[in-house]
């Protein structure tokens, strides 16, 4: 709703756009690779993906897979941190219908939302290894990351010795194999009517070998170990949410800062969302908060990652930033409020 010629992100883009426009106070979506956080970032909302297993599910959905390969989590998007915290508090908890959910109750999020993050140790990574980032996004997220020092936290710049392209190929191998396993018959029957980019993903998944899959699983475990090691020292990790602001509908970015994106051929968006899918692979709770605007008036998001099981710290940090930078006062040009005047 900030610019109707530009994308709202996906896959929960409609949910996020409706929240930003004031049509709904919050919306439920799912996040399997950034599908709540990316739209939240592009639309100027708050969105959070909880720890894998935090919200129980009673079915495996369209893409049927084994629990250890599940990247997707039911997730809220809202204008305020409190509304998303209320959603998580309401729907989280153990369920006899989901043997793979977290067996312990989530702490009282609303009671502790304003406790602050004094003495927290926070890691800041502007590129999560080697990801290209638009200069305006880089500048805005860096200023936002450093501002957490004013909340009593220690913020350190940390390096990541990972290859983003390799990690995305690992993610794609697992994800698109699951897509093919769950919906391969649909692809075979209706593939000719599908968009080329979707056909490409099914085709990729159909050709993954057992060896390919095992190697991808090994790389995913290596990534989990990297994140676990980081959280032995730090309470939170900050990164940009997505490398670019919202772009024109149907016009995928091919360059960032005049540098050609080395996009993985099976996915046109591989080059600009290297910050979201890694935490679906690791299972950590992770939020996107609005932290500024581009020169064209487009929202920019900062990502806050917590230890597995620690949604509360993510929410407390998000709330601390929200209180000092109240983003809900910014209303998009297309909204219930502006159209009713």
Number of domains in the chain: 1
Q: Is 29 exposed, middle or buried (0-12, 13-18, 19+ CB in 10 A)?
A: buried
In sequence order, what are the beta bridge partners of 48?
Answer: 287
Query: Percent of the chain, pLDDT > 90?
Result: 72
> In sequence order, what are the residues at sequence separation of 6 or more whose Cβ sits closer than 8 angstroms to the Cβ of residue 40?
9, 16, 46, 47, 77, 241, 288, 290, 301
Most confident of 96-100, 284-288, 325-329: 284-288
Residue 2 in any domain: the answer is no
Range of the domain at 222: 13-339
Residue 266 in any domain: the answer is yes
- For residue 172, the domain's CATH number is 3.90.1300.10
Residue 101 in any domain: the answer is yes
pLDDT of residue 264: 59
**Does 106 score more than 60 pLDDT?**
yes
> In sequence order, what are the residues at sequence separation of 6 or more whose Cβ sits closer than 8 angstroms to the Cβ of residue 136?
245, 294, 295, 300
In sequence order, what are the beta bridge partners of 262?
Answer: none
pLDDT of residue 255: 87
Residue 8 in any domain: the answer is no
Query: What pLDDT band is residue 99 in, cutting at 50, 70 and 90?
Result: confident
Give CA 171 to chain center in angstroms: 14
Residue 6 in any domain: the answer is no
Residue 61 in any domain: the answer is yes
Residue 1 in any domain: the answer is no
SS3 label, residue 327? helix
**Does 268 score more than 70 pLDDT?**
no
Q: How far apart are the first and last CA of the chain?
A: 16
Residue 187 in any domain: the answer is yes
CB 100 within 8 A of CB 246: no
Query: What pLDDT band is residue 57 in, cutting at 50, 70 and 90?
Result: confident
């Amino acid at each position: 709703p900030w610019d109707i010629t530009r994308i709202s992100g996906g896959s929960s883009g409609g949910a996020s756009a409706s929240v930003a426009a004031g049509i709904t106070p919050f919306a439920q979506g799912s996040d399997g690779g950034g599908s709540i956080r990316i739209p939240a970032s592009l639309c100027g909302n708050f969105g959070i993906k909880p720890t894998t297993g935090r919200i129980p599910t009673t079915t495996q959905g369209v893409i049927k897979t084994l629990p250890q390969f599940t990247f997707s989590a039911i997730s809220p998007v809202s204008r305020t941190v409190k509304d998303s915290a209320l959603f998580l508090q309401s729907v989280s908890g153990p369920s006899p219908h989901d043997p793979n959910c977290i067996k312990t109750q989530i702490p009282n999020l609303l009671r502790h939302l304003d406790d602050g993050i004094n003495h927290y140790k926070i890691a800041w990574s502007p590129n999560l290894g080697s990801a290209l980032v638009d200069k305006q996004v880089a500048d805005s997220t860096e200023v936002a990351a450093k501002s957490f020092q004013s909340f009593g936290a220690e913020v350190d710049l940390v390096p990541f010795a990972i290859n983003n392209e390799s990690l995305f190929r690992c993610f794609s191998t697992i994800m698109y194999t699951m897509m093919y396993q769950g919906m391969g018959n649909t692809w075979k029957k209706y593939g000719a009517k599908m968009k080329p980019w979707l056909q490409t993903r099914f085709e990729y998944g159909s050709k993954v070998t057992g060896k390919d899959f095992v190697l991808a699983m090994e790389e995913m475990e290596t990534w989990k170990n990297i994140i676990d090691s980081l959280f032995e020292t730090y309470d939170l990790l900050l990164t940009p949410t997505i490398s670019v602001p919202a772009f024109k509908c149907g016009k995928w970015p091919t360059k960032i800062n005049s540098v050609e994106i080395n996009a993985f051929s099976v996915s046109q968006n591989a080059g600009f969302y290297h910050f979201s899918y890694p935490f679906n692979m690791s299972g950590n709770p992770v939020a996107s908060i609005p932290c500024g605007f581009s020169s064209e008036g487009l929202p920019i998001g900062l990502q806050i990652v917590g230890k597995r099981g620690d949604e509360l710290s993510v929410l407390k940090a998000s709330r601390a930033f929200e209180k000092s930078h109240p983003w809900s006062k910014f209303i998009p040009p297309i909204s219930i409020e502006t159209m009713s005047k």
